[in-house]
Amino acid sequence: MQLKYMRIQGREHSWVTKYPKGIFSMCWRMIQDGIMNQEDEARFREIDNWFKEHLPEPEPCKNGEKVITFFKTETTAEMQAMITPALLILDKYEHPYDVIYTNFVGTIVYEDLWQIAVRVENGQMI
C-alpha cells in the first residue's frame, strides 16, 4: 500500500494549533531555549534555509492560519534526505518525535508539488 503523506511531529503541542508541533517548530524552540550548541544551530539554520529556498511557504502558513503541513511521499525523496540531519539533531538532544505516514488527512487548504497544508481546530484535523 502506498501512503501519500508524511509528517514529522513532536509530542508537545503548538499553542496555536493545539496539534503536535512539526519538526521546524521543535528545532526553533530548542534554539530559542538555548538547548542546541552553536554547531547544531548552524546546521539547522542551513537546513531551514535550504527549505525556504526550495519549497514554497503555503499561503495559510504565511497568513497565520491554524494549519499543519505534510510532505507528499511520492515527490519528496530529496526533501526527506535534507530533513534527516534535523532528525539527527533531535536524536542527539533526546527530543522525542514521531514520523507519521498516512492517507487520511483533514481538509486540504493548500497543495503544491511537494506538500499539503491541512486545517486544524482544537487540536484536530478537520
Percent share of the chain, pLDDT over 90? 79
When divided into structural domains, the chain yields a total of 1
DSSP 62-124: HTT-SEEEEEETTT-HHHHHHHHHHHHHHHHTT--EEEEEES--S-EEEE-SSEEEEEEETTE
Residue 98 domain boundaries? 5-125
Please measure the distance between the N-terminal and C-terminal CA atoms of the chain and give it in whole angstroms: 24
In this predicted model, what pLDDT tens digit does every residue of 27-46 receive, in sequence order? 999 999 999 999 999 999 99
Kindly report the CA angle at 3 between 67 and 15, in degrees rounded to 5? Answer: 20
Quick one: cell of 22?
512539526
Amino acid at 32: Q
Q: pTM value?
A: 0.91
Quick one: cell of 116?
499539503
In this predicted model, what pLDDT tens digit does every residue of 95-114 receive, in sequence order? 999 999 999 998 999 999 99
